[in-house]
């Protein structure tokens, strides 16, 4: 990333008021608590960077509040559907409120994991084979018959995950056929459609991408080493259950391929400003795309801040520069 003055310094130099940022967090999703943690962290970082930052929920008071006290730009720290399926961003567009992050149309695509995988695969990016089906298919055609076809096609082990959603909610690794029905039932608690994906053995990487005006650039990869062997919700948000290595312990050639994959995903899905791609590196050095997050976690155990630190930057300065860019050049 190119070096420029942080947004707060630029405002001070011109004699203008500090940039006013509203950080959106919370929402009514399964990921509310994670979002509030991210939002609180963002406000603290922006305040340290010299911005006037306020935390707000995405509720009925949001639009009147933004009208009464307009923000120079909004930072979306909402996780789950509220912050990632594009609906809120479409409303902000209608209201003419600048915000950091991907546009509504790109978010809708990235939120739908099977659709995003299809687009990414069409662009030549490796991704594990998958099948995505709604609950009604199992009910109408018979769950046992459909599950048998899935196993015959994809083999074992499998990863079972909601077709949309984040924070690894509902995600399970299934190694035995007899465990698959229960995993499916559990997964349907988080959405009507389940994606069953071939499990790929390897090193899991989190690949952050940031665009500060010079095009998307990948930050150093973060290697994820969960104690349980599966990076599920508990492993993500319970300190001590996952070990992180930043930068990742992979050779330079693999690191370059992983970085190129993350930037390629960011571009082909039409993302903007920041994203985090999750990928697996197989023992032979191939990098496989898993999914992408348009609103990366920013908690104390989140990978995006680790990548920023590994790149030698302060998180608050990076976020401030993203906000200043959107305040100056809204969509």
Q: Cite the active site residues.
A: 31, 167, 237, 276, 278, 291, 293, 297
CB-CB contact of 196 with 154 (8 Å): yes
114, two tokens:
């099977």
123 phi and psi angles, rounded to 5 deg: -85, 5
218 phi and psi angles, rounded to 5 deg: -85, 140
Q: Which helix (H) or strand (E) holds 193?
A: strand 193-198
Dihedral of CA atoms 39, 22, 275, 264 in degrees, nearest 10, equals: 180
CB-CB contact of 288 with 126 (8 Å): yes
DSSP string covering 200-247 = --SEEEEEEEE-SSS--EEPPPEEEEETTSS--HHHHHSTTSEEEESS
What b/e readout covers 274-309, taking b as 16+ CB neighbours within 10 angstroms?
bbbbbbbbeeeeebbbbbbbbbbbbbebbbbbbbbe
């Amino acid at each position: 990333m190119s070096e420029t003055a942080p947004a707060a310094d630029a405002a001070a130099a011109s004699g203008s008021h500090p940039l006013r940022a509203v950080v959106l967090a919370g929402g009514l999703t399964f990921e509310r608590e994670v979002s509030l943690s991210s939002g609180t962290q963002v406000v603290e970082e922006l305040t340290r960077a010299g911005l006037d930052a306020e935390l707000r929920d995405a509720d009925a008071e949001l639009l009147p509040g933004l009208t009464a006290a307009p923000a120079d730009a909004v930072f979306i720290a909402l996780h789950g559907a509220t912050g990632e399926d594009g609906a809120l961003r479409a409303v902000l567009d209608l209201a003419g409120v600048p915000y950091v992050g991907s546009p509504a149309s790109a978010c809708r695509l990235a939120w739908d994991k099977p659709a995003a995988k299809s687009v990414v695969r069409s662009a030549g990016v490796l991704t594990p084979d998958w099948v995505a089906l709604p609950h009604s298919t199992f009910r109408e055609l018979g769950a046992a018959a459909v599950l048998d076809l899935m196993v015959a096609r994809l083999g074992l082990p499998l990863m079972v995950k909601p077709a949309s959603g984040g924070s690894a909610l509902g995600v399970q690794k299934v190694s035995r056929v007899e465990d698959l029905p229960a995993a499916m039932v559990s997964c349907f608690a988080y959405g009507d459609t389940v994606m069953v994906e071939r499990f790929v053995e390897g090193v899991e990487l989190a690949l952050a991408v940031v665009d500060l005006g010079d095009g998307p650039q990948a930050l150093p990869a973060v290697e994820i080493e969960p104690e349980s062997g599966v990076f599920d919700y508990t492993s993500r948000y319970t300190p001590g259950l996952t070990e992180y290595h930043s930068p990742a312990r992979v050779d330079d050639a693999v690191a370059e391929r992983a970085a190129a994959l993350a930037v390629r995903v960011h571009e082909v899905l039409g993302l903007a400003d920041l994203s985090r791609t999750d990928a697996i590196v197989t023992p032979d050095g191939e990098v496989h795309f898993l999914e992408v997050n348009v609103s990366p976690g920013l908690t104390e155990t989140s990978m995006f801040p680790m990548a920023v630190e590994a790149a030698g930057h302060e998180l608050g300065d990076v976020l401030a520069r993203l906000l200043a860019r959107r305040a100056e050049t809204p969509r």
